[in-house]
Chain A
Amino acid sequence: GIQVEQSPPDLILQEGANSTLRCNFSDSVNNLQWFHQNPWGQLINLFYIPSGTKQNGRLSATTVATERYSLLYISSSQTTDSGVYFCAVAPYGDKLIFGTGTRLQVFP
């Protein structure tokens, strides 16, 4: 089956710093989503981005489907950005397969 790898596994930042999270996948996909799992365990939709670039406030994402990777950019990080960031892909359009996540800790 498809492999979804995220890097780095852990990231520690000071408030105000910028960061880039990466998601590599081993096969063509019809769907790619980024989620933030907050410290209370909720999975929050960040982006639905099978290709191209999107921005939402301090967050932006780029997916290069032909090269099988996606990047999530967080600028001017805040403590509320802490949590785990997941990339999930759907190789055949139906079921989402999750990566192992990047755990982000932002300190004041």
Chain B
Amino acid sequence: DTEVTQTPKHLVMGMTNKKSLKCEQHMGHRAMYWYKQKAKKPPELMFVYSYEKLSINESVPSRFSPECPNSSLLNLHLHALQPEDSALYLCASSPWADSNQPQHFGDGTRLSIL
């Protein structure tokens, strides 16, 4: 079991749908991350939140909208996605963004765009 919980585990949506991915951690970490991972590839960083503020956006299309309601929760709002957005979306957390400490990952949401 991981200490970073992601819901849902699987999501199938059409290109016109609006959905949200959720991530929760109770380790007191102040940095949270969204990654996208395609099959047989390493995770690719999308967003970094530090102390509930968006610190890094890796030029992600606006159809992905992150939100950090509090220090334990991280959401990723999805709208008008494309088939190429089908992937595993991973959430991670770490004590601070600039520390030499590992990021802890959830098990991801497997997203399929029809």
Chain B binds chain A: no
Interface residues, chain B, with chain A CB atoms under 8 Å away: none
